[in-house]
Amino acid sequence: MDKLLDFTGQVTLITGAAQGFGALLARALGERGAKLVLGDVKKEALQGVVADLQKDGIEAIALDCNVAIEAQCKAMVDTAIEQFGRLDIAVNNAGIGQPLELTEDVDDATFDAQWKVNVMGVQYGMRHQIKAMKPKGSGTILNVSSMAGLGGAPRLAAYSAAKHAVIGLSKTAAVETAALGIRVNAICPFFSLTPLVTNSALAAAGLDQAKAQLSRGAPMKRLAEPEEIVNTMVLLLSPGNTYLTGQAIAVDGGVSAM
């Protein structure tokens, strides 16, 4: 195996692993030798993901994890250490969307939900992941933000604000931990056909219409395939990618170049 893509023995924690990017990334890393601790609120779906991985000889553990609850984020880190002796990689991927509405119409409940899951879910994760990585002097954390975290996102004010916060958390943690051998980055995908998109208000008027409208805004004239985003995540997490930290990487088909 190419050394850049070799994750043999890398103990890896992934939140939001029952579907979408999380499930695809779990398989991509597991097939490259990683040992997996996977969490999600969707218990049955997560058990199915883990069963499929184990059937193929991949070491994987499923944990019920609502990232808005700090104790459950800590339990994932504790499990990694108890079962495998350490934590090498953490991917804070779990997140929620929001209804499409103008900024002046977004209510407090929507902002509260975004803060608890999309912001505090990352903070709770990093709080315990960094503490676990510090003693061994190495580790890699990847937080899933969004293109909505790099610029304005019409009708997604609360989501955009939360994803901007994820980038701020990632950059700050990266500066604080760089000398300790820990890398922290954020990935900022453009729209991709994961359940977060296909099940959202974005598709309420018709998925094909939404896809066509969004694709017009991308130089590549198409949305990303989930696997394309995951391929970038694999490269960002690579044990051989040792000098990249504190970055918010846009994976957007050229949108941010305009």
Judge contact between 254 and 190, C-beta under 8 A.
no
Place of tokens 């930290």: 245
Q: How far apart are CA 236 and CA 239, in angstroms?
A: 9
139-144 vs 248-251, strand pairing mode? unpaired
Catalytic residues: 159
- Residue 188 is inside which H or E element, if any? strand 182-189
CA 86 to chain CA mean position, Å: 20
Using alpha carbons, select from 37, 116, 109 the residue that is nearest to residue 70: 116
